Amino acid sequence: MEPNAPVYFTRGNPATDALPIDDFRECADAVFKEQGRVLFQYGHYSGYGLLRQWIADWLKVDYEQVLLGNSSMEFLTFAAGLFLKRGDPVFLENPSYDRAITAMKRADADVVGIPLEPDGIDMAAFEAALKIKPPKLFYIVPDFQNPSGVTTGVAKRKRIAELAKAHEFLILEDAPYRFLRYRGEHPPTFRELVPDNTLHISSFSKIMSPGVRVGILIGPPDIMPKLHKWSEDTYIHPALVTEGIVYEYCRRGLLAPNIEKLRALYQPRMDCILQMLETNMGDAEYIKPEGGFFLSVTLPDTVDGRALQENAEKFGIVLSDGSGFFTDGKGDNFVRLPFCGLSEEEIEIGIQRLAKAIAHYTA
């Protein structure tokens, strides 16, 4: 990297060099020849049928349980629009994915943040909030959470699943990073633990390409008709052209090796940032993930986190505003560190610069 170039610890982008562009060109050519008359015409409101069927077979669910959309972000707005009325409680991990917080606030829901611990939400706080009023939705990113890197442990998953049944709320399980596990075992999904109470969303953004904007929602059979109808009333149907290319890519068996390739690329980057934090972070607490795109550092109170975030560029790093990830905006000392889109050299230099900036703003 250029010596004076800043290191961007901002967006959770996949590595640009890993986008399978040549494969997409071949897939597009083949599928447009075969299926162009379907893909370039109006289509079904639930998305391209061949891709829905491929996903149903892959994830072992019924075809009718699969809804395709223009990215998983869109499903957050669908869920908020369909299930939340003004003032309805919605629970989120605190911190949480900033765009999910925005989607829930836009629906005028009563957003309740449940503090996050290194193995998932604080269960005592969750149960106390349930006693006040159970939510309509509980939004959770259980695997390698954006922004913290936390994975919810098995015991907490099971208890949350029991509580969802007992208090009849829906779990909105957002799992875009699940397939990017670099070590350790997969805990069960909420979709597996409590399928009747779970809307499971994910997308091809992190395992193939975000530019295709293809999202996947899997839900209980009794709820799906409402979601299919919501989709139709929103945009008639999602974009079929990219769904066709994604289908052809999957049909050719290219997805599984691509995920392997990404794991092999990202694991050393995760190990590198963990190593750098161990040597440079002093008193700061940080999450040690086993996969995904992010980890996070919580700075001690002796650090003026607001000044650090606002002046980071003077130290050659660009940070996201930590407070955006908190339902109550109290995240001045929270630093999200995406690592997948950075080379090991950038990570090493970036963490050294971050350590310098922290030292500068420590009282």
Ligand X SMILES: Cc1ncc(COP(=O)(O)O)c(C=O)c1O
Judged by CB under 6 A, the chain residues 242 through 301 that form the site for ligand X are: none
Nearest distance, CB of residue 319 and ligand X, angstroms: 16
Of the candidate spans 44-52, 65-73, 188-196, 346-354, the one that interacts with ligand X by CB under 6 A turns out to be 65-73
Judged by CB under 6 A, which stretch of 30-38, 67-75, 239-247, 279-287 contacts ligand X?
67-75
What is residue 302's DSSP assignment?
A: T
Using the minimum distance from each CB to ligand X, give the nearer residue, 93 or 304: 93
Residue 95 C-beta: closest distance to ligand X, Å: 11
Give the residue with the Cβ less far from ligand X, 13 or 280.
13
Q: Does 72 bind ligand X (CB under 6 A)?
A: yes
Pick the binder of ligand X from 14, 95, 215, 219 (CB under 6 A): 215
Q: Min. distance of Cβ 54 from ligand X in angstroms?
A: 18
Run of H or E including 235: helix 224-235
Q: Of these, 101, 141, 193, 194, which contacts ligand X (CB under 6 A)?
A: 141
The residues, any chain, with a CB within 8 Å of residue 292's CB and separated by 6 or more, are 143, 144, 145, 146, 149, 177, 180, 181
Q: Which amino acid is at 357?
A: A
Among 77, 148, 197, 203, binds ligand X (CB under 6 A): 203
| Residues found in the chain | 363
Q: How far apart are CA 165 and CA 51, in angstroms?
A: 31
Cβ distance to ligand X smaller for residue 255 or 358: 255
**Positions in 84-103 near ligand X (CB under 6 A):** 97
Distance CA 23, CA 158 (A): 40
DSSP assignment string, 65-127 = GEEEES-HHHHHHHHHHHH--TT-EEEEEES--HHHHHHHHHTT-EEEEEEEETTEE-HHHHH
Which C-beta is closer to ligand X: that of 65 or that of 71?
Answer: 71
Q: Cβ distance 31 to 228 under 8 Å?
A: no
Any idea what DSSP says for residue 214?
-
| Residue of 144, 155, 210, 140 whose CA lies nearest to 181 | 144
Nearer to ligand X, 75 or 315 (CB): 75
Residue 205 in the binding site for ligand X (CB under 6 A): yes
Tokens encoding 332: 């001045």
Q: How far is CA 187 from each of CA 105, 299, 360, rounded to the nearest angstrom? A: 30, 29, 40
Output the smallest distance, CB 131 to ligand X, in A.
28
Site string for ligand X, 99-138 (x = CB under 6 A): ----------------------------------------
Is 210 a binding residue for ligand X by CB under 6 A? The answer is yes
Among 46, 71, 258, 320, binds ligand X (CB under 6 A): 71
Please report whether residue 73 would count as binding ligand X according to CB under 6 A. Answer: yes
Q: How far apart are CA 176 and CA 326, in angstroms?
A: 20
Alpha-carbon gap, residue 225 to 209, rounded angstroms: 28
Query: Which residues are registered as beta bridge partners of 217?
Result: 67, 201
| Least distance between ligand X and beta carbon 76 (Å) | 7
Q: In this complex, which beta carbon is closest to ligand X, that of residue 72 or of residue 309?
A: 72
According to the binding rule CB under 6 A, does residue 148 interact with ligand X? no
Which residues contact ligand X by CB under 6 A? 12, 71-73, 97, 141, 146, 174, 176, 203, 205, 210, 215
